[in-house]
Structure 1
């Protein structure tokens, strides 16, 4: 990167991105961090299910399992 480009970004000239009204992912709920211990075979199955689908994260997979369970149990 040349020094002119760096200098222009420091001054805000040519700066791209940043916060904009309405930009970004919309929240779907409250985030709580947790640690989940499962046997290796379970993790392998989860990763097999999510593998190859870059847009489907492990957290989304686990969330869908919980949502399905609670809907079936009439808890939602």
Structure 2
């Protein structure tokens, strides 16, 4: 079993995750229409800034698990 301590040379990316609260009926209706009441965590806008300054922006409902896979692909 591996250690959970970071190794020398590991690079960690800062990640800020924030989600809107569903307070108005429009957002609640949209979530219900899209069938998203199954516990899936979604992001509506993802902005990734790479170490060389280039940016990747993804807009629209995107599953957080897909974002994690994208970031893993970028760092390998």
Query: Please, what TM-score do these two structures have when normalized by structure 1?
Result: 0.27
The answer to which structure, 1 or 2, has the higher relative contact order (CA under 8 A, 6+ apart) is 2
Which entry has the higher C-alpha Rg, 1 or 2? Answer: 1
Which structure has greater helix proportion? 1
